[in-house]
Amino acid sequence: MNGIGLFGGTFNPIHLGHLKVARAVCDGFCLDTVYFIPCAQPPHKGTENLADAGDRLSMLKAAVAGKARFVVSDMEIRRQGLSYSIDTVVAFKKKMPLARPCFLMLGIDAFLEFHTWKTYEIFFDVIPMIIMTRPAESPAFSRETAGAVALKTYIQTRIDSGYEYVPEKDCYVHPQKQPLYLYHVPPVPISATGIRARIRRGESISGLVPPAVENYILKKGLYV
C-alpha cells in the first residue's frame, strides 16, 4: 500500500513487543514508514508509574535508531497537555500528500474501547485503521467464533451498523466510511506493566527491551 502507519501509545517503556508488531504491520501492509508517537499525558490512564515524557521519547529514539522505516514523532509531547489521537491524526493528514495513504495502528483491546475516545466518530470518516489482533484470535475473523462475534457486534452497535466484514480482505468495509483492516500479529508475551514490575523487584529486563533502552532505564533509575 506504500503508506504510513501512526502507532501511538505511552511506550512506558518501549519494548521488543512493540517493535515486533510494528515490523509485522509495516511488512504486511508495505508501509514506507511507521511513526511511533509517544503521548504527553494519556487521557485514559493515570500518571502513576508513568515516566517523564522526555525519557519515554529518548527511549523510543534509542529503540528505533538504525531501523529502516521506523521514525519517532514528538508531535504529542510538543503539544503538551492531554494527548488526543484525533488531533494527531488530523495534523498528520494535513501535512501528508493526499496520494499517500495514512493508517491508524492500534491493538484490538484499545479498539474495543474506541467509543470512549474523544470525538471517536470522526476517525471513521478520515482515516483507515489497522487493528492488530492477538494470535489466539487469528482464525476468529474468518469463522463465527466468540472473538469474531464480539468484534462484529462492537463495530455494528458501537461504531456503525453499515460496516460489513469481507473475508477475502480480512477487513470491515462501509459504503461511506474508512475501512477497518484486521492484522494478526505474531505472539508477543511482553508487556510494559510486566517490565516495570520486574524492575521494581530488581530482576533483569534483558531480552524484553532493546539493549539501549535497558541501559537508559538503568542509568536514569526509572521505574524503581
> Mean pLDDT over residues 158-162, rounded?
97
pLDDT recorded at residue 100: 83
pLDDT in tens, 5-42: 999 999 999 999 999 999 999 999 999 999 999 998 88
Q: Distance between the two ends of the chain, CA-based, in angstroms?
A: 43
Answer yes or no: are the C-beta atoms of 126 and 120 closer than 8 Å. Answer: no
Residue whose C-alpha is closest to residue 23's, from 37, 43, 8, 7: 7
Query: Quick one: pLDDT band at residue 80, thresholds 50, 70, 90?
Result: confident
Domains of the chain, start order: 4-220 (3.40.50.620)
Name the pTM for this structure: 0.92
Cα separations in angstroms, 142 against 135, 145, 147, 165, 167: 14, 9, 10, 9, 6
Helix-then-strand count for the chain, H and E: 9, 8
Please give the Cα distance from 199 to 188 (Å, whole number): 19
State the DSSP H helix or E strand holding residue 180, giving kind and residue range, or none if neither.
Answer: strand 180-184
> Would you state the cell numbers that stand for residue 18, as one nine-digit string?
512493540
Side by side, the strands of the sheet bearing 70-72 are 70-72, 33-38, 4-9, 102-107, 129-133, 180-184, 171-173, 164-166
pLDDT recorded at residue 1: 55
Longest dimension (CA), the chain: 53
Answer yes or no: are the C-beta atoms of 100 and 152 closer than 8 Å. Answer: no
Residue 124 corresponds to which amino acid? Answer: F
